[in-house]
A and B are shown apart, each in its own frame.
Chain A
């Protein structure tokens, strides 16, 4: 088991956003986390990456208890998140953003190779390597966020709504890239509004409702679950 959350709770001030969440991600999997707006998906990501402290429970990663570990040290352990929305550095160029992704790495030659690979995955970024991140379009910024996270060569990649705000064609593209990244050996935990696509691509999935896991199963199972269909797939 690569990642394991055990009864994790998280508070924003007095508001409790997560109520004892438990989930696991195995080596090599794509696991999807779906749920309505405000369900706590982003919050779960924050708990895992460590930019918000958890108030109860345990998080284990790669055999180590990281519940109280600082966020930057979690990155060094191989956990990297592409944050939701505009989480790129607006004043840095595309190249500098990607270099920031490799901030914790010392292996220069390998970094250069990964950079080539990322630019190959996202040719759009290659064209705009000198452009400040803040001047990219929404979709390009999204790609940059994913590419930047890949630059840390994570064991586990956390993706928070990578398809948000993208045109249908680009959504297809980003999901194929996710599958491709996974097939090259990176484990992925994926948060998505786009449940159809996410469930179709994921090995397993969890459904989150108001800070609680209410359902879990394989992607295919949930895709055909009547309750999930009605709530998240827009079919009655």
Chain B
């Protein structure tokens, strides 16, 4: 057992070292190839050669859209959990705020009947989720310890209950005819329609690239350094003159904004939003994805989000002894997470910094215990 993990570890380290040692143009070329691959992926002419990976029974474009939304969420949550080290258990709440903002302001089923176009509402949705993030973070981020975890959990649950029982948010009946994003092909057909999920996937993919670019730049700036210091030792960060509260709030608000964006995209794709979309478990799944991938590392978050969402979708329609595997998805993730925590607590693709922190913490436990 340890032989295998050891071998995997050395392989991974060698791969990592090779990657870091590779010339700049090689890395750019690989990156470009990966990006092209993911843009090409939803086309049947392309994915049919990939063997059993795509779910052939279901609509692969649709699966990819779902996966991309999860990846965007994982990237957003990673800012909060991975960079600033804040435990947010209700991240899906921001997704819900984004989706419902779009629904309320655009759908004909809404009580206020503004019927605004989708694109006009997206900035409002992002602004509103950011504000709700700030409103939630301002009182709690000043406190220490696990208050944030509890408050965010409560927030997500509050949103869910409001969605289920308030008549303004329409409960199970939900909002329908939410408009699609704008745009037409040369022949006048809309780009974003009901039949073809691929344009939505491409849209989300593009936004993921933009968000990742922005987040990456942030992490390499003074802001990023401040986040690392807060995550590693909040008292020491303060003693170095880092305004910790301000930067924690920034991380929280940025994470919320990204969650809101994902919600707005989702609403625009589905045309329909109701209370069933916002189970508490979704928050946990995204958190699991971030931890699985390796929190603190953007690539890790992307891989984690993609892998988790893809596996969940892949379980659909597969029956073992007459039971659908999909029913056991959460059990499976529980088991995988436990195994991960034992053998690889830093995640699949951890940041090197994070790995050092964990090692340090374990040393502390041994010394202290």
Does the CB pair A91–B354 fall under 8 Å? yes
Please give, as numbers and ranges, the residues of chain A lying within 8 Å of B232 by CB-CB distance. Answer: 89-92
Q: Is B3's CB within 8 Å of the partner chain A?
A: no
Chain-B contact segment, one of A33-41, A97-105, A223-231:
A97-105
Q: Which of A72, A90, A99 contacts B242 (CB 8 A)?
A: A72
Does the CB pair A83–B236 fall under 8 Å? yes
Q: Is B302's CB within 8 Å of the partner chain A?
A: no
Cα(A137)–Cα(B127), bound, Å: 47
Does the CB pair B228–A92 fall under 8 Å? yes
How far is the CB of B170 from the nearest CB of chain A, in Å? 45
Does the CB pair B243–A70 fall under 8 Å? yes
Question: Which residues 231-263 of B sit at the A interface, judged by CB distance below 8 A?
Answer: 232-233, 235-244
Residue of B nearest to A104 (CB): B241
How far is the CB of A150 from the nearest CB of chain B, in Å? 12
Does the CB pair B241–A75 fall under 8 Å? yes
Please give, as numbers and ranges, the residues of chain B lying within 8 Å of A76 by CB-CB distance. Answer: 241
Q: Is B131's CB within 8 Å of the partner chain A?
A: no
Cα(A24)–Cα(B239), bound, Å: 21
Question: Which residues 38-92 of A sit at the B interface, judged by CB distance below 8 A?
Answer: 49-51, 70-72, 75-76, 80-81, 83, 86-92
Does the CB pair A100–B229 fall under 8 Å? yes
Question: Which residues 273-308 of B sit at the A interface, judged by CB distance below 8 A?
Answer: none
- What is the count of residue pairs linking A and B with beta-carbon distances less than 8 angstroms? 87
Please give, as numbers and ranges, the residues of chain B lying within 8 Å of A148 by CB-CB distance. Answer: 240
Does the CB pair A134–B356 fall under 8 Å? yes
Q: Is B357's CB within 8 Å of the partner chain A?
A: yes
Q: Which of B228, B240, B354 contacts A152 (CB 8 A)?
A: B240
Please give, as numbers and ranges, the residues of chain A lying within 8 Å of B353 by CB-CB distance. Answer: 91-92, 132
Q: Is A173's CB within 8 Å of the partner chain B?
A: no
Please give, as numbers and ranges, the residues of chain A lying within 8 Å of B240 by CB-CB distance. Answer: 75, 80, 100-101, 103-104, 148, 152
A199-236, CB under 8 A of B: which get 1 and which 0?
00000000000000000000000000000000000000
Residue of A nearest to B357 (CB): A91
Cα(A71)–Cα(B244), bound, Å: 10
How far is the CB of A172 from the nearest CB of chain B, in Å? 26
**Which residue of A75, A81, A100, A104 has the most chain B CB atoms within 10 A of its CB atom?**
A100
Cα(A50)–Cα(B241), bound, Å: 11
Q: Is A176's CB within 8 Å of the partner chain B?
A: no
Cα(A50)–Cα(B360), bound, Å: 26
Cα(A148)–Cα(B240), bound, Å: 9
Does the CB pair B239–A75 fall under 8 Å? yes
How far is the CB of B125 from the nearest CB of chain A, in Å? 33
Cα(A8)–Cα(B265), bound, Å: 55
Residue of B nearest to A101 (CB): B240
How far is the CB of B147 from the nearest CB of chain A, in Å? 15
Residue of B nearest to A45 (CB): B239
Cα(A50)–Cα(B238), bound, Å: 9
Cα(A152)–Cα(B238), bound, Å: 13
**Which residue of A49, A75, A91 has the most chain B CB atoms within 10 A of its CB atom?**
A91
**Known pairs A87-B233, A89-B229, A89-B233; A71 contacts B360 (CB<8 A):** no
Please give, as numbers and ranges, the residues of chain A lying within 8 Å of B364 by CB-CB distance. Answer: 86
Please give, as numbers and ranges, the residues of chain B lying within 8 Å of A132 by CB-CB distance. Answer: 353, 356
Pairs across A and B, CB under 8 Å, 28 listed: A49-B238, A49-B239, A50-B238, A51-B238, A51-B239, A71-B239, A72-B241, A72-B243, A72-B244, A80-B240, A80-B241, A87-B235, A88-B233, A89-B228, A90-B232, A90-B233, A90-B361, A91-B232, A91-B357, A91-B360, A92-B228, A92-B229, A104-B240, A132-B356, A135-B356, A135-B360, A149-B239, A152-B240
Give chain B's interface residues, CB within 8 Å of chain A: 222, 225-226, 228-229, 232-233, 235-244, 353-354, 356-357, 359-361, 363-364
